[in-house]
Amino acid sequence: MPKAPSSAIDVAFYQGDQANQPNPTGEFVVGENPVIDVEVPAGVTDGYLSVSVLDVSGNVFHLLPNINRQDNSVEGLRNGLDGDLSIRVAYSISEAQTNGGLAFRVDDSTLGKTKILVIHSSEALFNEMRPTSESALSYSEALIAEDRNVASRIYSLDSRILETTAR
């Protein structure tokens, strides 16, 4: 991972099967539907956000940008709104059925700690769209190698742990 300071950007979790009730612990059990929001402070008005999930099996899933949501510029995500901004990157199952966003339900195939990574950069982080999922090795190599947009300066790297258990 690139060396970058943390910032005031945060990650919030909600229970998708419980009317998006807050889940401040980030702990979910098999069968539950985690909802993930990136909380962007009012002072963050430019640059680009890249949000990825690194799971216990060593896979990286890209929540923003992705094939269904390619605009990851802060300006585009704000869509003219000022103040603090909450950007949904993983939806409840019912929301996803309506808007086509990414959603998932915890199953017993990848239990444990999953790291949510939020990178704020000056330009798009990569020259091309990354695949929906890839190995952690491939992702880390792309961050270091020529796949990355060398004109992009990384402002911050923030993360939060989502933990899944059988019960």
Rounded distance, CA 54 to CA 52, Å? 7
Phi, psi of 49, deg, nearest 5: -110, 135
pTM of the model: 0.94
Q: Tell me: the pLDDT tens digits for 116-155?
A: 999 999 999 998 999 999 999 999 988 887 578 888 999 9
Token pair, residue 65, equals 């940008």
pLDDT of residue 109: 87
Q: How far apart are the first and last CA of the chain?
A: 31
Q: How many CA atoms lie within 13 A of 113 on its CB side?
A: 6
| Contacts with 66 (C-beta within 8 Å, 6 or more apart), sequence order | 102, 129, 132
Q: Tell me: the pLDDT tens digits for 19-63?
A: 999 999 999 999 999 999 999 999 999 999 999 999 999 999 999
